[in-house]
Amino acid sequence: MESVLFSVRLSLQVACLSTLLIVVTGIPLAYLLARKEFKGREVLDMLFTLPLVLPPTVTGYYLIIVFGRNGLLGGFVYQWTGWTIMFTWYAAVLASYVVALPLMIKTARAAIESVDKNLINASYTLGHSEINTALKVILPLAKRGIIAGAVLAFARSMGEFGATLMLAGNLPGKTETMPIAIYSLSGSGEWNKAHGLVMLMTLISGLFLYIANRYSKRTF
Amino acid sequence: MGLYVNLQKKVNGFSLDIEWEIGHEPAVLFGFSGAGKSMTLQLIAGLIKPDSGFVRLDDTLYFDSLSKTDLPPQKRLFGYVFQDLALFPHMTVWQNILYGAPLLSGKEKQDRARDLIRSFKLAGLEKRYPSEISGGQKQRVAFARALIRRPKMLLLDEPFSALDRPLRLEMREFLKEVKESFNIPAILVTHDFDEAAAVSDRIIIYEHGKITQTGSPEQVKTAPANTYVSHLVSS
């Protein structure tokens, strides 16, 4: 029972941190993609969206190449500090972050692009800088899409399995998140515990979709 | 002294090439839709960058392709009233008006907003959102927001076109009051000749991105430069 509770707590912890990172980095990225014209914009969008359509194992594979102990970045870190992100709960956060980020970028970009251009122009002619206009006009008006994106990203983080398994492994009491625990429990025939986790997972995901829908109904 | 505008801009197959000058009196840009009137306002305000030309008000150059001067819209201090008014839907009337003066201190901003609310007959509506007030009230909020930081000029892009006739007549009177109390150049874009004649003694007629004729309402009515103008003033 203790290991089940651990996996619930770990999944919430991983989803909270990855959603926080997604909000902090995803909103500026979505803004950049929606409002700035630069070379390679659509390529960048495609790169960030790829994890949405790639099998999570492929995403996980790429992450190992970059962040693994012998990886492009990970090798460097390991040489200098002797530490690797692999098989820690931070790896689960990294996997969830990369897999769930596209949900935030897609919804927030669409919401930012749908803000009336005249309102933005009005803000400029009233003397407000671009950053001020973004904070006081564009983001508040795109709020519904941004919140929906964050909620979807949270739910996706909670449910992350494939990339997490490749990066963080399946270490009971260390990196065993809810979806991985369900996989282990059903593998070893512990159906009662698996049932409980499946119900809880469905309940949490359903609740989050309900919240996302309620937010997207609010209008000015 | 006054506003001197010389602008060239090609975009999506449309070509604008205009030059005109006005003093400190209101002027009207007049013509059918798609003639380049609204585009001119956006070029003057710095919302679109001209290919070449210059914009000078009194002694200040705002844009000049030769000396590569190009002040951003934030630094041009022109009050702009948009065709759809562009009131911020998530801000109250009070917040919308205050938003027009980002550089003023809190107290001065609030004093000015209170004065505008009184003189523009908006008292009691401060806490309402734009969706909760009438069309005429929205117009007055848009003007208050554009005027609170005491702009050097007003750019009005068909702000009355969405109103019905009695309200439009009322807004013309309102515009005259604004003209008298603020005494700054104002450029009104319209395709309603009565409105043009009521507001200004100087009409600048646009035809496919060029200026066809300039003059007083009587002049363009009695001696139209071509059939386009005579068609325009009688429609």
The CATH number of residue B64's host domain is: 3.40.50.300
Q: Domain boundary residue among B151, B172, B191?
A: B151
Band the pLDDT of A218: cuts 50, 70, 90. low
| Å between B79 CA and nearest CA of chain A | 7
Closest chain A CA to residue B129:
A220
B181 and B70 within one domain: yes
**Selection from A159, A147, A169 nearest residue A60 by Cα:** A169
**Selection from A67, A29, A8 nearest residue A146 by Cα:** A29
In this complex, do A122 and B103 lie within 8 Å of one another by their Cβ atoms? Answer: no
B162 and B147 within one domain: no
B217 and B157 within one domain: yes
Closest chain B CA to residue A127:
B74
pLDDT tens for A186-198 read 999 999 999 999 9
B199 and B101 within one domain: no
CA distances from B182 to A70, B45, B79, B139, B171 (A): 71, 19, 12, 17, 16
CA distances from B145 to A122, A132, B125, B231 (A): 10, 17, 14, 36
Q: What is the pTM of this model?
A: 0.88
How confident is the model over A29-58, as a mean pLDDT?
A: 94
**Selection from A78, A123, A35, A107 nearest residue B149 by Cα:** A123
d(CA A138, CA A112): 7
Q: Domain boundary residue among B151, B178, B196?
A: B151
Tokens 């027009």, residue located:
B100
Is residue B82 in a domain? no
CATH of domain A2-217: 1.10.3720.10
B223 and B187 within one domain: yes
B156 and B65 within one domain: yes
B70 and B157 within one domain: yes
- Indicate the domain borders of chain A: 2-217
Sign (positive or negative) of CA dihedral A120, A123, A127, A132: negative
pLDDT tens for B45-94 read 999 999 999 999 999 999 999 999 999 999 999 999 999 999 999 999 99
**Selection from B149, B215, B135, B226 nearest residue B182 by Cα:** B149
Chain B contact set for A111 (CB, 8 A): none
B42 and B96 within one domain: no
DSSP letters along B107-140, please?
HHHHHHHHHHHHHTT-TT-TT--GGGS-HHHHHH
Is residue B72 in a domain? yes
Question: Is 80 exceeded by the pLDDT of residue A220?
Answer: no
B58 and B156 within one domain: yes
**What are A111's two structure tokens?**
């919401």
pLDDT tens for B201-233 read 899 999 999 999 999 999 988 988 888 888 888
C-beta of residue B206 within 8 angstroms of C-beta of residue B36: yes
Residue B157 sits at φ, ψ, to 5 deg, of -95, 90
Closest chain A CA to residue B147:
A126
**What are B56's two structure tokens?**
């000078």
Band the pLDDT of A101: cuts 50, 70, 90. very high
Band the pLDDT of A92: cuts 50, 70, 90. very high
Number of domains in chain B: 2
Boundaries of domain holding B118 = 91-151
| Å between B145 CA and nearest CA of chain A | 8
In this complex, do A126 and B102 lie within 8 Å of one another by their Cβ atoms? Answer: yes
In this complex, do B88 and A127 lie within 8 Å of one another by their Cβ atoms? Answer: no
d(CA B214, CA B225): 9
